[in-house]
Amino acid sequence: MPDDIPIPTDTPYRWGEWQTGSIMQYKLHVNGRDHTVDVDDDTPLLWVLRDEIELKGTKFGCGAGLCGACTVHIDGAPVRSCTTPISNIGSAAVTTIEGIGDTPIGARLQKAWLDVDVVQCGYCQGGQIMSAAALLTRNHAPSDDDIDSAMNGNICRCGTYARIRQAIKQAARTDLGSAATKKRT
């Protein structure tokens, strides 16, 4: 690696540095299914999802909580799985990009993502949708500022930010439309 690329020094986990604890058995509830894994107690959730449970949609980007590519939900809250040790999960429900489409908000977002043709290389987009789903869960009609604030930690090297914002707005409008329909019937 060139000398002039800064390396974060204040992060709890870096590639290859988590295998210092002791092997434990953990039961995880992921996307509505139970899994049992035997891993070091400080293994980041990201690697348990990818390597133990074979859910590869959650991506490794920075490994330091800085890019958002690894975003999943724990009991509905967005978290960076690269800096979340497996020992912190307990009995919480984990949702990944593979499972978010089973929720009404996730399904609306995925449709909007396709309608708007958001994706370029796609690497960041799982994390983007997970953050967007968390936003629309707590705010059904986000303003531009709300969207920018919620999505601020999700980096897209392809620069798809404008289309991401457009897709979130479409999904939010769909939500308002279905609420109005419910009211009329």
- Please, which residue, 154 or 174, has the CB nearer to ligand FES? 154
**Contact residues for 134 (Cβ-Cβ < 8 A; gap 6+):** 73, 76, 77, 78, 150
- Please, which residue, 88 or 173, has the CB nearer to ligand FES? 88
- Please, which residue, 80 or 108, has the CB nearer to ligand FES? 80
State in angstroms the smallest separation of the CB of 158 from ligand FES.
3
Whole-angstrom distance, CA of residue 124 vs CA of residue 144: 20
The residue within the footprint of ligand FES, chosen from 102, 122, 139, 144 (CB under 6 A), is: 122
Instruction: Compute how many residues bind ligand FES; rule: CB under 6 A.
Output: 23
Bridge partners (DSSP) of residue 36 are 27
Closest C-alpha among 90, 94, 100, 92 to residue 81: 94
Kindly state whether residue 158 participates in binding ligand FES, applying the rule CB under 6 A.
Answer: yes
The residue within the footprint of ligand FES, chosen from 28, 39, 49, 70 (CB under 6 A), is: 70
Q: Which amino acid does the sequence have at 162?
A: A
Which of the stretches 2-10, 19-27, 49-57, 123-131 binds ligand FES when contact is defined by CB under 6 A? 123-131
CA dihedral defined by 142, 32, 121, 116, rounded to 10 degrees?
Answer: -40
The residue within the footprint of ligand FES, chosen from 112, 124, 132, 133 (CB under 6 A), is: 124
Q: How far is CA 139 from CA 5, 25, 55, 157, 169, in A?
A: 38, 37, 28, 26, 11
Kindly state whether residue 63 participates in binding ligand FES, applying the rule CB under 6 A.
Answer: yes
Q: Note the residues at the interface with ligand FES (CB under 6 A).
A: 60-63, 65-70, 80, 82, 119-125, 156-158, 160
